[in-house]
Amino acid sequence: MKNLTNKFIIKDKSKLHLKDYDSSDDAGFNKEDALKLLNENVDKLKKLQYLLYAENKRSILVILQAMDAGGKDGTIRHVFGPLNPQGVKVTSFKTPTEEELSHDILWRIHQHTPKTGEICIFNRSHYEDVLIVRVHNLVPKEIWSKRYAHINSFEELLSESGTTILKFFLHISEKEQLARLNKRLEDPSKRWKANPEDFEERSLWKDYIDAYESAIAKCSTSYAPWFIIPSDKKWFRNLAISTIMVNALESLNMKYPDPKI
């Protein structure tokens, strides 16, 4: 299923418009088959994670970005949840603390990057500094517009240090987002996740789309590519991301080290 990697990776950045990407695309798969393939991918990822840890020469950084209710938590649970927790670290970036604000924007990010043999998942990331910061005019354009270059340099440093970077934008439609937000209100087990601000932010949908298009176009590189993942269908989202993860790890041609005795 390597074609899913090629299908969703962003290479042509000159004409990036999210409206051209179908958020309900399932690449011809049906749910039943997709769930079987997901289980196969997860089994492969378990073995590849073990090999990554044993070789202890490189690391994996996964970045998940999405609109509110886009499915970041679900992706982590279904694709990465079955892996050995000793080798997987998830970091969610909240509002910066006073200490973090006293440093450059990448200071708090760098502290959470993966060590060798480890897979790290960022639930939101340094891209918030060209997304929400831009949309809400938290700093002048002359400041946030320079951050794309800073991000690219940062990711290039990580790549050259042995970190494979995979960045996934979980692409949902405005209609699907509203349905998910309303479902949170209807389901007692999910009502705690409901936030009035999520509904308020919907009025800024177009501004966020513009910000995401710029971030993806300016920061999808050979060493840290962006993938636009159709995510209206959760089962296909999980299949696509797990497939891309398997392909990326297999391409590293990792080997078990020789015994020390």
- Overall average pLDDT of the 235-254 stretch: 98
Structural domain includes residue 199 = no
Structural domain includes residue 260 = no
Read off the pLDDT of residues 40-78 as tens digits, 9 standing for 90 and up.
Answer: 999 999 999 999 999 999 999 999 999 999 999 999 999
The pLDDT assigned to 188 comes to 82
Place of tokens 């051209």: 20
Structural domain includes residue 126 = yes
Structural domain includes residue 258 = no
CATH code of the domain covering residue 33:
3.40.50.300
The pLDDT assigned to 192 comes to 82
Structural domain includes residue 181 = no
Structural domain includes residue 67 = yes
3-class state of residue 167 by DSSP: strand
Q: How many domains does the chain have?
A: 1
Q: Is the pLDDT of residue 24 over 80?
A: yes
- Overall average pLDDT of the 191-220 stretch: 91
With cut-offs at 50, 70 and 90, classify the pLDDT of residue 261. Answer: confident
Read off the pLDDT of residues 113-155 as tens digits, 9 standing for 90 and up.
Answer: 999 999 999 999 999 999 999 999 999 999 999 999 999 999 9
The pLDDT assigned to 179 comes to 95
- Overall average pLDDT of the 225-236 stretch: 98
Q: Rg of the chain's alpha carbons, rounded to an integer?
A: 18
Structural domain includes residue 42 = yes
What range does the domain containing 26 cover? Answer: 3-11+21-175+205-250
The encoded tokens of residue 154 equal 């940062």
Structural domain includes residue 60 = yes
- 238 half-sphere exposure, CB direction, 13 A CA radius: 27
Q: Write down the mean pLDDT value for the chain.
A: 95
The pLDDT assigned to 1 comes to 63
Q: Is the pLDDT of residue 2 over 80?
A: no
More confidently predicted of 14 and 243: 243
Q: Is the pLDDT of residue 237 over 70?
A: yes
Give buried/exposed letters for 203-221 (b at 16+ CB in 10 A, else e): eeeeebbebbbbbbbbbbb
